[in-house]
Amino acid sequence: MPLLRGLFWPRRVLSPLSRIALATFAWNHRHEILRWGRTLYDQLIGRTEVSPTQALRTGQLLYAIATENELRNARQLRKVTLKGDDVDLTVDESWKELPQLIERVERVKGVRHITVNGHSSQPALRRRAAS
């Protein structure tokens, strides 16, 4: 039994090289990790009512953003807030990938309306994307 305990001891599993690799990965993806953290904290802990469908939809929304190469780890996108069927994006409005972000969020099932920094500015963004 002592042999098995020694194999799975945390220091043995996470060697110094593994710890460096994890720290490097976390640093390289810090914007994505912080966005997920801010969003999930706001959606799951910051509210009194938490439903499983709301949590699932928030996860789907964040996953849809994370699977797009241009949107992944973008420091311009700070937080995604989901209230019912409405999504509010806290983002730098001068970001060139903003129209692509809005298009990606629109494709998520259950999203009805998108606002950017609290303002419904989709028509202006679509005109900017078309030109």
Instruction: Parse the chain into domains and list their residue ranges.
Output: 2-130
Per-residue confidence (pLDDT) for residue 131, from 0 to 100: 46
Measured from the Cβ of residue 34, the count of other Cβ atoms closer than 10 Å reads 14
83 φ/ψ angles, rounded to the nearest 5 degrees: -125, 100
Write out the two tokens for 42.
Answer: 């706001």
Measured distance CA(85)–CA(65) in Å, rounded: 17
Whole-model pTM over 0.85 = no
Q: What pLDDT, in 10s, does the model give residues 32-65?
A: 888 888 888 887 777 667 778 878 888 888 899 9
Per-residue confidence (pLDDT) for residue 12, from 0 to 100: 60
Measured distance CA(103)–CA(100) in Å, rounded: 5
| pLDDT tens for each residue of the chain, 131 residues long | 555 555 555 656 677 778 888 889 889 888 888 888 888 888 777 766 777 887 888 888 889 998 988 888 888 988 888 888 889 898 888 889 999 999 999 888 888 889 898 877 554 444 444 44
Measured distance CA(32)–CA(75) in Å, rounded: 8
Per-residue confidence (pLDDT) for residue 2, from 0 to 100: 56
Count the alpha carbons within 13 Å of 110 in the hemisphere toward its beta carbon. 14
